[in-house]
Amino acid sequence: MKVPFGTISVTQESKDLIKKILDSARISSGKYVKKFETKFAQLLGAKEAVALSSGTDADILALAVLYDFGANRGDEVIIPALSFVATGNAVLHAGFKPVFVDVQRDTLNIDPDKIEEVITAKTRAIMPVHLMGKPAEMDKIKKVAKQHGIYVIEDAAEAHGAKYKGKEVGIIGDMGAFSLYIAHIVTTGEGGIVVTANLEFAEILRSLRSHGRACKCKECVINTSDQACSLRFKHGTDIRFFFERVGYSSKMNEMEAAIGLGNLKLYDQILEKRRFNFFYLHEKFQKFSPYFKTIKIENYEEIGPHAFPIILEEGVTFTRNEFVKYLESNGVDSRSLFLSMPTQAPGFSFLGYRLGQFPNAEYIGNNGLHIGVHQDLEKEHLDYFLGLTDSFLKERCDKRG
């Protein structure tokens, strides 16, 4: 049996719409991107949503907004040591310095009790990551941020559908950045999106995604209709070539939006299936507790399952890589559970962190993996994986706990 890690759901409606877009020869960001933004904002209860070319760009541009509010190049942004590397890359690409905090092993998320000790006069934001779709401890994070007058930008790349104390993640902080990559619950193939309640933030994001130009209306009449722009010569020259800030080229295109519009219609169905798969594994996996652990679930949160995380317990007589190879040889695809960015990812070595500074992130980096729980997996796929895990342990361990 094959158990792939990810999938993508593309509706017939999306396929028909893509053909219509191609036939129109108007494929750059336009009315369908705007429609997708509106529907995504409605899904979360957000006031504004700005669609972008990737989840990484969503992080980058959300951070770059802060330059309009007094931030300077080289200022600091606090992030968890454990995450997909895009989180750390985004901070650097936005022109800031990442400051890392260790995570908690049973949540995979930033340890909120360790944040305050790394805040300095140069700290401008905290970027918690809701890893694997498990919400970070937002009450504690927001309290620290408020005390120090800094922003909270949620990296909700993997957390579509997750809720913290009744609130959708992504709209709890000042901004929330989502990935719309293939493996996620809402996808446009590639793509990302930032949500916010701050209308000025949204205007700046629309400028940033298009080279920093002065065009930042919520709906561009040129791109979404055949109307003339009444603001075109507001600055004495064509507004499309008047640049207010250093920007990026990060627009979503119409075909990606078409995939997303169809995907949103399946949202409830996909989320329900992923939650069933996740919680089925979460319950059944407890019998392997002497050897493996996964994240704990609190009664005040709802998981937006990206995947099912697994961490080897200390003292087991096998390695993560041995288990992964066994799964792979039997048709089960998996991914490592990321790395401690500052100490296990060579690209960040110039920052000067030393191995041992982030013990929980480093342990997970050496001993963690995750498998898919996506909507194309059925109960028999999950049972097959559980059976393989049981067989592996029987082969490798003398005694069962």
Q: Which residues are catalytic?
A: 184
Q: Which pairing describes strands 292-293 and 307-312: parallel, antiparallel, or unpaired?
A: antiparallel
Q: How far is CA 240 from CA 61, 205, 212, 366, 375, in A?
A: 19, 15, 10, 49, 42
User: Are the beta carbons of 134 and 108 closer than 8 angstroms?
Assistant: yes
Residues in the chain: 401
User: Are the beta carbons of 54 and 250 closer than 8 angstroms?
Assistant: yes
For the sheet with 48-52, list strands across it.
Answer: 48-52, 192-196, 175-179, 151-155, 123-126, 76-80, 97-101
d(CA 261, CA 60): 24
Neighbours of 264 (CB within 10 A): 20
H or E stretch at 114 = none
The gap from C-alpha 207 to its chain's centroid, in whole angstroms, comes to 22
Amino acid sitting at position 381: H
78: its two tokens: 């606090």
User: Are the beta carbons of 65 and 175 closer than 8 angstroms?
Assistant: yes
d(CA 243, CA 279): 49
Of the candidates 79, 152, 111, the one whose C-alpha atom is nearest the C-alpha of residue 345 is: 79
> Who's near 370: CB < 8 A, 6+ residues apart?
132, 306, 307, 308, 309, 310, 334, 335, 337
User: Are the beta carbons of 294 and 311 closer than 8 angstroms?
Assistant: yes
- Strands (E) in 182-278, as ranges, are 192-196
User: Are the beta carbons of 2 and 331 closer than 8 angstroms?
Assistant: yes
Of the candidates 158, 200, 156, the one whose C-alpha atom is nearest the C-alpha of residue 176 is: 156
Q: What DSSP character marks residue 159?
A: -
